[in-house]
Amino acid sequence: MRILALSAAILALAGPAFASAEPTVLDAAGAWRLSEVGGKVACTLTLMRQASLGGYEIKAPLACREAFPPLKALAAWAPDDKGGIVLSDAQARPIIDFPGQLRGPYEAKAPDGKTWRLESLDAPPRPARGGRMSGDYRLTAIGGATLCNLAFTSNIFGSHGGISQSACTPAWGDKNLAAWSLHAGRLTLMDKAGKTILVLKPSDPGAYVVADPKADLVTLTRR
Residues whose CB falls within 8 Å of the CB of residue 202, separated by 6 or more in sequence, listed in order: 185, 187, 208
Same fold, 2-120 and 135-222: yes
The residues facing 35 across adjacent strands are 42, 117
The type of residue at 151 is A
- Asked whether residue 141 carries a pLDDT value surpassing 50, the answer given is yes
Encode pLDDT of 9-46 as tens digits. Answer: 444 433 333 333 344 556 788 899 999 998 888 999 99
Strand partners, 116: 36, 108
Backbone region of residue 36 per phi and psi (left: phi > 0; alpha: psi in -120 to 50; beta: other values): beta
Overall average pLDDT of the 164-179 stretch:
91
Beta bridge partners of 36: 116
User: How far is C-alpha 212 from the geometric centre of its chain's CA atoms?
Assistant: 25
Q: What end-to-end distance do the CA atoms of the chain give, in Å? A: 40
Pick from 166, 197, 191, 195: nearest CA to 178: 191
Is 179 within 8 Å of 190 (Cβ atoms)?
yes
pLDDT reported for residue 196? 92
- Listed in sequence order, the residues at least 6 apart from 15 whose beta carbon sits closer than 8 Å to its beta carbon are none
pLDDT averaged over every residue in the chain: 81
Split at pLDDT 50, 70, 90, the class of 132 is low
Q: Using an 8 Å Cβ cutoff, are 44 and 34 in contact?
A: yes
Q: How large is the average pLDDT for residues 167-192?
A: 90
Question: What sign for the dihedral angle of Cα 154, 159, 162, 165?
Answer: positive
**What pLDDT, on the 0 to 100 scale, is given for residue 25?**
56
User: What's the confidence (pLDDT) of residue 1?
Assistant: 44
Distance CA 61, CA 195 (A): 43
Domain 2-120 belongs to what architecture? Beta Barrel (2.40)
Tens digit of pLDDT for each residue in 74-109? 999 998 767 789 999 999 999 999 987 766 688 999
Picking from 30, 18, 92, the residue whose alpha carbon sits closest to that of residue 55 is 92
Assign domain 135-222 one CATH number from 2.40.128.10, 3.40.640.10, 3.40.50.800, 1.10.357.10.
2.40.128.10
Q: What's the sign of the alpha-carbon dihedral 124, 128, 129, 132?
A: negative
Q: Could you tell me the residue ranges of all domains in the chain? A: 2-120, 135-222
